[in-house]
Amino acid sequence: MPAYMNITERDIFFYHRHPDQLTQEKREYIEKHLSDFQVELNFLEASELKTSEINIIRLYRKVKIQNSPDKKLRLAAANNLKQTKDETETFIDKEEKYIAKLLSFGSYKRIYILDKSGKTLDNIKVKLLPDSTEHLISPELSFLEIKPNTTIEELEIVTLK
């Protein structure tokens, strides 16, 4: 295992919610250096919220992290595929009770919405702003997949108990 590894916000999110989607090397590195990521993990593991029957919550952009592809020697004839950038954006409400993770993978984007306890919310309606398109996150998926060219400045979620 290397002495240093570039761990992104996206990696921490997957470590907490979907560890099977991380490489074994990244999982082991995070486990070995858990104290370095405690703030991020504490947010995802915070106490459970009490919610009313219907909540409309607006989430605002908080942090944006961009990861460029690994800088490795590549011969021009060896690979003519366009390199894509993975991006992670975080949206959070003013009371910091909900968090949305927008993960961009080049050909698609996924949105995961979590409450303060780290539980992925499903069966909720999500409005993407500024274009005001509405989507439903179903219990079967627990995420919303959208087109890669979709611009999101804010999110509005409607939770139903």
Q: What is the pLDDT of residues 37-81, one digit of tens each?
A: 887 777 666 533 333 345 566 667 774 444 445 444 333 344 444
How many domains in the chain?
2
Question: In this structure, is residue 9 part of a structural domain?
Answer: yes
φ, ψ at 34 (rounded to 5°):
-55, -40
User: Closest by alpha carbon to 123, among 61, 51, 19?
Assistant: 51
Domain match, 61 and 22 both:
no
pLDDT for the residue 158:
80
Tell if the pTM clears 0.75, that is, is over it.
Answer: no
Domain match, 140 and 150 both:
yes
Domain match, 30 and 52 both:
no
Two structure tokens written together for 9: 């916000």
Domain match, 7 and 61 both:
no
Which residue is associated with the tokens 């909900």? 98
Residue 10's domain comprises 1-45
Two structure tokens written together for 99: 């968090």
Question: In this structure, is residue 156 part of a structural domain?
Answer: yes
The rounded distance, in Å, linking the Cα atoms of 154 and 152 is 6
